[in-house]
Structure 1
Amino acid sequence: MIRTEEIYDAATDDAVFDQLASTLAEAIGARSGVLHWGLAPNHVAEISYSGYFSDAQMALYDQEFHDDDIWGGALDRAETTNRIWNIEAFVPTQAYEGSRIYNEWIRGMGDDTFRCLGGVIRRDGTAGHIGLHRGRTQKPFSEDDVQAMQDSIGHIGRMFAIRSKLDRAQHHGRSLHATLDLVGHAVFTMRADGVLIDCNRPADALLRRADALTLRQRQLKACDPRDDEALQTALRAASARQGGQAGAIFIHREQGLPYVLSIASVRVGMDRQIVAIATDPAARDPSLASRIRTLYGLTRAEAEVAEALCAGRGLEELSQERGVALNTVRTQIKNIYAKLDCSRQSELVARIGALPRLGAGEEE
């Protein structure tokens, strides 16, 4: 089964994107897979492949065999765009058997890749390619395989489009900053000394209302003096060496219930930055996973795994519940520990346990 969640997590998470070709291949029983996108048919900005072929073999393909790829050439036609095809519909077996790419590249490295499911996606100025492969002795791709991929091609195209719009330097520095406007909470990021670095649109709107929070000399301040004292104390605690732990305070406003401001520090390279999330009780999200995802820059899957770990779930139980390999869960946990700056489950529980429970479905 192809999980839509994993496709969209690949939009902002480099590690998930790198694994996506393997994920798609595994989902339909393919032996290998490759997908890439660019800003033109012959431009490749990013590539994900399953690792079945080595980096050296892929480099050889790029240098000597790209122009002889009769599968890719068959798909680069307008009438085939935005659909998944069994390539045998365009390239008969005899034509492939006689091709240079099969005889000199595939057979040249002792391989027997012989079947392909592929497609070209064009969306929002991006050109994406997908190829999933089986060996000569493996069964042909079925109509069900084609349909399973076709059902996901729209999501993959949107994922390509999102990645193409992200600023690459910002995205590689930390995906959290590149996705600020993709979350519903008001999010502020600050240097360790409290100077504002960035905020998303909901946070900017909150500052413009000036009914609870404001900026003075690029420092986040609470309008109520008592709240500001608590805010500055929380910011100093977050910037301390042990600052991975999260805390929360109330920020009162002129009308309505107070905001809940969740504050934590995150590591960016060798430095620490402070992240503050303002939650409006009038429009609150009862999902703890949603808030820890935003606060620590987790993917959706990582946030759900983190929440489950705090509830006492084990690795094998998570693997079965989520329908993913045990190694996938281990990788997600490794990423969670890195982003929350902890090294064991007890530390993770302490970090997340400090967050307030806001929704009707969570304990007050």
Structure 2
Amino acid sequence: MNLAHQPQTWTSYTPASMPPPEALHAGMLARVLDEIDHGLMLVDLTGRILHANHPALRELAAQRTLRNVDGMLNAAQSGWQNPIRQALKDAERGCRSIVELEHASEPLSLAFIPLGPRDAGAEVDTVLIMCSRSAGCETITMQMFARAKQLTRAEQNVLAQLCAGHGAEEIACLQGICLSTVRTHIKNVRQKTGSGSIREVVHRVSRMPQVVSALRMHAN
């Protein structure tokens, strides 16, 4: 059968044939943002919050570093407000910037990304603020990885502690188990994941997409 003369019945999706962003439903875009385990906020150049995904809403509700004051993004401490204002001014000029807020319990880094119409030379009208991910490793991503590799709950707990930067002896103390038990779990994790070292496993987990747990989403 000569396929060269057969009519093509599939559709080739090129950038030109894809629907423009305006055709995408706003509700669907919001759901996409909510599935990412980084705080994401869209603000205008004055700092008015246009949208915040679930991790960002949690950060605002905690009021450790950021607050929502009548729909406006504000720093929880007065000394942090000027860096945020400057970052918004930089974004208006098309410049990206990082702001670090050093809180005692959990520092927060913010990346300010200027957004605007797709036309070249168009003025920036919106800023995407990306928050650093929470330091905790017990995420739905970890659970999904553990399930795919058939890790036991104990092995998953040890891996989460390793990802958090703890050594074997620390994990033994934190979990109240023998050091030999921790080392056995580490060996099993390496074998089940086909990794040459536990550092390789931690690196693999750190590179995975960070997905928000449905339970955490509905808790807001």
Q: The TM-score by the shorter chain falls in which range? A: 0.3 to 0.5
Structure-2-length-normalised TM-score: 0.47
Query: Hey, which of these two has a bigger chunk of strand by percent?
Result: 1
The structure whose RCO (Cα within 8 Å, separation 6+) is larger is 2
Structure-1-length-normalised TM-score: 0.30
